[in-house]
Amino acid sequence: MNVPNQITISRIILIPIFMVFLLGPFSWGTLHIFGADIPVHHLIAAIIFIVAAATDWLDGFYARKYNLVTNMGKFLDPLADKLLITAAFVSLVELEMFPAWAAIIILSREFAVTGLRLVASGEGNVIAASVWGKWKTVSQIVAASALMLHNMIFELLSIPFDTFMIYVAVILTLFSGIDYFVKNKHVLVK
């Protein structure tokens, strides 16, 4: 197994670890950082989540730079991304920190685009990630991180950045999903 695939697998392994810290009944106290009160276990979970999210960029960079793109990587990388985002948002819904309606929209789009890609691949077509899809992913990671960090920094400025990012993530999720289906509607009309 090559290094990019090992990095991708490390992202998958980090998912249950970050969930344990985020959802666990730990009583390790609260830190007051940049105007926000953050439970210590949420801070640890956020750091693990951010590290896991960063491995997405790292494995892709490494695979392209050293020409180590494999079918296993093409399968595992998007799967790891979807597992990470799903785990984050479902966990945040459980903690009543993220609205269920937003999670349903985001997860529905992920299933729909994955289905579209499966139909396309059955016909020998590959649907590459779009620029909108990449911005969607970034917005989702930023939204989840801001929520886990209890709006750190922005709380000091009385700016609801975490709430703003929820709406940005939902809008970019919807827009990128529509974009995929409009650009690839030929796959479904056969």
Domain locations along the chain: 3-188
pLDDT at position 96, please? 97
Q: Which residues contact 19 (CB under 8 A, 6 or more apart)?
A: 45, 87, 91
pLDDT at position 75, please? 80
Q: Residue 169: pLDDT above 80? A: yes
Q: Residue 190: pLDDT above 80? A: no
Q: Which residue has the higher pLDDT, 87 or 35?
A: 87
Q: Residue 126: pLDDT above 90? A: no
How does 29-54 read in b/e, with b if 16+ C-beta sit within 10 Å? eeeeeeebebbebbbbbbebbbebbe
CB 86 within 8 A of CB 92: no
* Class of the CATH-defined domain 3-188: mainly alpha
pLDDT at position 173, please? 97
Q: What are phi and psi of 164, to 5 degrees?
A: -55, -45
Q: What is the pLDDT of residues 23-79, one digit of tens each?
A: 999 999 999 998 899 999 999 999 999 999 999 899 988 888 898 888 788 788 888
pLDDT at position 109, please? 96
Q: Which residue has the higher pLDDT, 82 or 125?
A: 82
Q: Residue 155: pLDDT above 90? A: no
Q: Is 189 exposed, middle or buried (0-12, 13-18, 19+ CB in 10 A)?
A: exposed
Q: In Å, what is the CA distance from 85 to each residue of 30, 42, 49, 138, 171?
A: 25, 16, 9, 11, 16
